[in-house]
Amino acid sequence: MSRYAGRVVIVTGAARGIGAGTAKRFAEEGASVAVLDLDEGSAAETAAGLGAERAIGVACDVSDAAAVDAAVTRVVEELGRLDVLVNNAGITRDNLLFKMTEDDWDLVMNVHLKGAFLMSKAAQKHMTQAKYGKILNLSSVSALGNRGQANYSAAKMGVQGFTRTLALELGPFGINVNAIAPGFIVTEMTDATAARLKMEPEQLRQLNAEANPVRRVGYPEDIAAAAAFLCSDEASYITGQTLYVDGGAKV
């Protein structure tokens, strides 16, 4: 498939995990891809492995306004345009409310919410000029509530409100804005959750698979497939939506 031939896609937090899987899918469908992540070396390494005709790795902390502006400018200079932005970068700082620190709260809000805000603001300048664009935000089933994740849950529900509002504001400029809310996806993020729960990663995966209606866990490719559809022109009448990609299990 070459639904993305001639298109330029940015995926944030794409050195590994869901971001890397999503970047790979866009590359396979013909896009030029910019892999943004905290560490330029890891971003460049992932970009080189995508098999894309053109792919670059760019260092960018999405919670830093100057870094975001510089990264988006560089992508447009080097790859020529910007059609799709996937706001994927994320972190967790889990703790029960009484133990959660102000830093745990601020860090999570800054990466997920401020990061999506700064990246979308920088990207829309190019997209509104071109009267074309797709923005996809990563929410989570945790938006519906998850013990130990007051910060993350609030940020991920915030992402859904942000998505609906951008869809209203940017729709008239030819820009679609949607969100994906993944369930349990096998990445270093869920392996870290296993470690916190004093479990082996495989043990936590098995528990989640058993509790899931489709009796398996998710993989980055599951999210990538949904992302490639939602950002395509086949989905141009879909905007402001959050698609749960979770095997039917809401937390």
Tell me if residue 152 is catalytic: yes
Q: Report CA-CA distances (Å) from 101 to 106, 107, 155.
A: 9, 10, 15
Do residues 250 and 213 make contact, with C-beta atoms less than 8 angstroms apart? no
Residue 57 lies near ligand NAP (rule: CB under 6 A): no
Residue 12 lies near ligand NAP (rule: CB under 6 A): yes
Do residues 111 and 62 make contact, with C-beta atoms less than 8 angstroms apart? yes
Between 61 and 83, whose beta carbon lies closer to ligand NAP?
61
Which positions from 37 to 56 touch ligand NAP by CB under 6 A, shown as an x/- string?
A: xxx-----------------
Residue 184 lies near ligand NAP (rule: CB under 6 A): yes
Q: Which of 120, 160, 178, 187 binds ligand NAP (CB under 6 A)?
A: 187
Q: Report CA-CA distances (Å) from 240 to 58, 95, 182.
A: 28, 31, 16
Closest CA to 10 of 41, 33, 37, 43: 33
Which positions from 62 to 101 touch ligand NAP by CB under 6 A, shown as an x/- string?
A: xx------------------------xxxx----------
Tokens representing residue 75 in the block: 């992508």
For residue 98, what are the contacts with CB-CB under 8 A and spacing of at least 6?
none
Cα separation, 217 vs 18, whole angstroms: 13
Total of residues contacting ligand NAP (CB under 6 A):
29
Residue 140 lies near ligand NAP (rule: CB under 6 A): yes
Binding to ligand NAP in span 118-137, by CB under 6 A: none
Residue 247 lies near ligand NAP (rule: CB under 6 A): no
Catalytic residue among 4, 132, 152, 244: 152
Do residues 126 and 72 make contact, with C-beta atoms less than 8 angstroms apart? yes
Name the site residues for ligand NAP (rule: CB under 6 A): 12-13, 15-19, 37-39, 60-63, 88-91, 111, 115, 138, 140, 182, 184-185, 187-190
Catalytic residue positions? 152
